[in-house]
Amino acid sequence: MTVATALEIVLAVIVLGIAFWTTMVRDTSAAVVGFLAYGLLLALVWVRLGAVDVALTEAAIGGGLAGVLLLGAAARLRGAEISADAERPRTIPSAAAAVLATIVVGALAAAVLSLPDPAPTLAPAAAANAAATGLGNPVTNVLMAFRAMDTMLEKVVLLLALLGVWSLAPDRLWAGGRPGPRHRADPNGVLAFLARVLPPIGIVVGIYILWAGANHPGGAFQGGTIVAAMWLLVIMAGIVDTPPVSARRLRLVLICGPAVFVVVGLAGLAFGAAFLAYPAAYAKPLIVMIEVAMVLTIAATLGLLLAGAPERSAEP
Amino acid sequence: MSLALDILTIAAVSAGAFFFLAGTVGLLRFPDTLTRLHALTKADNLGLGLVVLGLLPQAGNLRIALKLICVWLLVLLAGATVSQLIAGAALASGASGQRGNSINAHDRSNEPQP
């Protein structure tokens, strides 16, 4: 057994252990912290599997933004939990939940065991056609060229999710409230200091990851997540406020990613072979243009998803 | 030359691992939030710093070496800030101890708190 195999086995045992602990622990905040550690360790698992693009996404979303979202949810639930703990769990619902969970686990295990080995794969085909776009990263090729339709629809789904969050706003704030509470922090405190020092670095890193995504692991989603985290940091430090949901510039940023995608797609239909067909000579510039627009949309959408529903009027 | 660099790597990474181990033991064994933070920051600052120092001779080129140093500096910045925030929150809530004993009560006596 090599050192690498031993490391992988230890990693797998720790990931399974943390997953078990996270589901068993009673305290919600502790479960969230467990889930964060689980996300970061899962990113290491993806690195060991050679899927660095997935590892970056898992670290940014599973270990980062989802953690902020879940910590906020745990803080909001704190009051309700005390009363829920006082109630005795009823036998029949608990037994039904146990039976349902057992059936789901059994079905998943059966599905995994019945998978063909070796798994059917299109990876050789994707690698063989890599030259068609001029990009060196096969994952970006699949996301932005071979399966570009999926990526475009994914961005539309993100927007629909944001609309779902916004629709929780009370009627009077629907037309232009500000999302989330107004954060206040000591303007000379350490949080405000971090929120002034870190964003320039974080924005450069986000743009670098977008740019590197053409030929190395990275891309619009990972870069956009980092930019969103920087924006949230500045909001939480109270340096800037969340924009009112009616702001025209904000809405333009929110739709620019899918809009550029659709325009390029229709141009492919008009001048080329099919919807989203890139002319070979312009494939790379077009893909980079779409990705730049998508970074803006992803950063704004993720930031606003975490900020929450409009809950204050725009006027102070 | 290469042997000397390898020895430096082994020595520095081992020292870094020792600080991580000591920090983890401190995190598990120390009595309240502030001392546990103290243990954690040692692992972050010195432990990671020594690991990065040990990896520098193996980096191969200057770009990777600079990236390693950037990782360490960013962890320093984040670790110091988060420790301050957690310590501030612990002081403000008055619950610096595991069992909810306040700072003042803790300072006054070593008696077990209810």
| Residues within 8 A of B (CB atoms), A 162-221 only | 190-191, 193-194, 197-198, 201
How is residue B64 written in tokens? 């990777």
What tens digit of pLDDT does each residue of A250-292 get? 999 999 999 998 998 888 888 877 888 887 778 888 888 899 9
Confidence at residue A83, expressed as pLDDT on a 0 to 100 scale: 67
- Of these ranges, A157-161, A181-185, B87-91, the one predicted with the greatest mean pLDDT is A157-161
The string of pLDDT tens digits covering residues A13-37 is 999 999 999 989 888 888 999 999 9
Which residues of B make CB contacts under 8 Å with A?
74, 77-78, 81, 84-85, 88
In terms of DSSP H, where are the helices of B30-102? 33-42, 48-55, 62-93
Q: Is A247 on the interface with B (CB under 8 A)?
A: no
Contact B81 A201 (CB under 8 A): no
Locate the domains of chain A by residue range: 1-120, 136-316
Query: CA-to-CA distance for A257 and A255, rounded, in angstroms?
Result: 6
**A73 min Cα distance to partner chain B (Å):** 18
Q: Chain B partners of A190 at a C-beta cutoff of 8 Å?
A: 81, 84-85, 88
Cβ contacts (< 8 Å) between A201 and chain B: which residues? 74
For the segment A117-145, what is each residue's pLDDT rounded down to a tens digit?
Answer: 888 888 888 888 877 777 878 888 888 88
| pLDDT tens digits, B4-26 | 889 999 999 999 999 999 999 99
Nearest residue of chain B to residue A197 (CA atoms): B77
Q: Quick check: B77 and A198 CB within 8 A? A: yes
CB contact under 8 A, A193 and B81: yes
- Mean pLDDT, to the nearest integer, of A54-69? 88
Which chain A residue has the Cα nearest residue B77? A194
Q: Which of B77, B84, B85 sits opposite A197 (nearest CB)?
A: B77
Is A287 in contact with A136 (CB distance < 8 Å)?
A: no
> Which residue of chain A is at minimal alpha-carbon distance from B87?
A190
The rounded radius of gyration (Å) of the Cα atoms in chain B is 18
Measured CA to CA, the distance from residue B14 to residue B8 in angstroms comes to: 10
Query: In Å, how far is B84's CA from the nearest CA of chain A?
Result: 7
Q: How far apart are CA A279 and CA A313, in angstroms?
A: 48
For testing contact with chain B, the best of A194, A208, A209, A216 (most B CBs within 10 A)? A194
pLDDT at B101 (0 to 100): 41
Chain A's closest residue to B74, CA to CA, is A198
CA dihedral A89, A91, A94, A100 (to 10 degrees): -170
The reply to whether ipTM tops 0.90 is no
Q: What is the arithmetic mean of pLDDT over A80-88? A: 68
Q: Rounded mean pLDDT of B90-105?
A: 56
Tokens 């600052």 -> residue: B45
Give the pLDDT confidence of B26-60 residue by residue, as tens digits: 989 988 888 898 888 888 788 999 999 999 998 88
Would you say residue A67 has pLDDT above 90? no
Residue A316 confidence (pLDDT): 59
pLDDT band, very low/low/confident/very high, at A176 (cuts 50, 70, 90):
confident
Domains and CATH numbers, chain B: 2-108 (1.10.287)
